[in-house]
Amino acid sequence: MWIAIGIFVGILIYVAIKKSFHKINTALIQASEKLNFQYTPPESLWKKKVMSGTLDGYRCEIAVYTQSHGKSSTTYISFFAYFPQSLNMGIKINWRGQFEGDGDHLSNLFIKRNLNLVEDEKKKLRRLKISDESVNSRKILWKKYYNPDEIIKTMHDVVALTKKLK
């Protein structure tokens, strides 16, 4: 009896994961078409899903992946906008939104110029990470990101912030 219940629960979990996989793939396909990004859905349920393209002259990437945390795991959607050239200032704003830098004049100037902007954007772009190479916002994959318009809006928000950084 318990074996049958265990098998039934396992099948239910697999069906739920498969359904979720189909929903996010559909949203990513629709978003990639509207953004004119390249996206090829992976055949495996467990593979990272990545779409990329150019938006307003900035190279962009959207990735959906699952990260394991011991006995549990979390699925994230991550939005990247890359600077046309590296800032070469040793800039880093970590996931907690804390500024880090190599302490020289240029990195201190960058932090001073952009502190208020980044603080305001952190309300909308969760888990904001900025480096010399890119701006990244990583969010837990909630149902709202099964909507291609939410994916598109967030990608535009990340690019808009990237453009404003000086």
pLDDT tens across 70-88, in order?
778 888 999 999 999 887 7
Residue 23: domain span? 2-164
Total structural domains within the chain: 1
Query: Per-residue pLDDT averaged across 89-112, rounded?
Result: 67
At residue 105, the pLDDT reads: 61
Q: What is the CATH number of the domain that holds 51?
A: 3.30.1460
104 vs 90: CA distance, rounded Å: 9
- Given a cut of 70, whether residue 164 has pLDDT beyond it is yes
Q: Please tell me whether the overall predicted TM-score, pTM, comes out greater than 0.95 for this model.
A: no
What's the chain's Rg over C-alpha atoms? 19
Query: Per-residue pLDDT averaged across 123-129, rounded?
Result: 83
1-15 confidence digits (pLDDT tens): 788 777 767 777 677
How far CA 152 is from CA of 23, 148, 157, in Å, comes to 16, 6, 9
At residue 10, the pLDDT reads: 72
At residue 122, the pLDDT reads: 77
